Amino acid sequence: MKLPIKKVYFDQIREGKKTVEYRDAHITFVCEETGETLRRDVTGSIVMPRSPEWFEDVLEDDNMICFELREVSQKEGKE
């Protein structure tokens, strides 16, 4: 996962001074083939060990984040 962040906060994370990051609680999904977008509110999340049989060729890390998603929160469209 890549997240843009201002340099001041980037430096604080690198130095171990910032240990919590806050972000909006939604995800906008973009279909790679059509460009269609779909926004969902995140209502919960958990970090758990990656299950190799489920995501062997998709995820890189040993852990994965699982997001619980709410129904449509914004009109869907194209990016």
CA separation (Å) from 48 to 57, 58, 61, 66, 67? Answer: 17, 16, 11, 8, 11
Q: Quick one: pLDDT at residue 74?
A: 53
Average pLDDT, consecutive stretches of 10 residues, N- to C-terminus, the chain (79 residues) = 91 96 92 94 92 75 90 56
28 close to 69: Cβ distance less than 8 angstroms: no
Strand locations in 1-79, DSSP E?
26-30, 36-49, 63-72, 77-78
Phi, psi (rounded to 5 degrees) for 25: -95, 60
Q: In whole angstroms, give the CA distance from residue 32 to residue 78.
A: 11
